[in-house]
């Protein structure tokens, strides 16, 4: 007769995906006994696998959340640095590209939160009027 500790260790190893021959070598138990245990403790193995999978998911999500928090802090640092700099030395092509990119981000954010028509980007057209904006009679 085998101890309950040996059976518990079997359930643990089987839940981790170990094969019966590997478990037999590790626990010094015959393969025939392990086949019987495999049937007898199938529900326990399944439960432990589900528990281990849940723990792995939680660990992954925590790691992902830590990465997102780190990236958010880094972005805030970059944004803080950028906010203290003047744009007057930025070439016009880069300013124009920045304006277009920011306008697109505003539209994307609006669509994701309100599902309403997007705001105009505020980018001036060739005739000096805001794109898609009302024409003024100045």
Tokens of 60: 């992954």
Q: Measured between alpha carbons, how far is residue 75 from residues 20, 104, 105 in Å?
A: 50, 19, 15
**For residues 120 and 127, what is the distance between their CA atoms, to the nearest angstrom?**
16
C-beta of residue 20 within 8 angstroms of C-beta of residue 35:
yes
Please give the chain's pLDDT, 138 residues, in tens: 789 999 999 999 999 999 999 999 999 999 999 999 999 999 999 999 999 999 999 999 899 889 888 888 898 888 888 888 888 888 889 988 888 998 999 988 888 776 644 455 444 444 344 444 444 444
């Amino acid at each position: 007769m085998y101890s309950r500790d040996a059976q518990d260790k079997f359930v643990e190893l089987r839940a981790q995906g170990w094969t019966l021959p590997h478990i037999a070598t590790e626990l010094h138990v015959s393969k025939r006994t392990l086949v019987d245990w495999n049937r007898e403790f199938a529900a326990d193995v399944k439960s432990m696998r589900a528990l281990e999978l849940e723990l792995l998911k939680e660990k992954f999500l925590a790691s992902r959340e830590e990465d997102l928090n780190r990236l958010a802090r880094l972005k805030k640092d970059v944004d803080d640095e950028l906010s203290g700099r003047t744009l007057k030395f930025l070439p016009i092509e880069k300013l124009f590209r920045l304006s277009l990119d920011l306008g697109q981000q505003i539209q994307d954010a609006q669509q994701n939160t309100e599902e309403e028509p997007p705001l105009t980007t505020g980018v001036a057209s060739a005739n000096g009027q805001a794109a898609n904006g009302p024409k003024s009679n100045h």
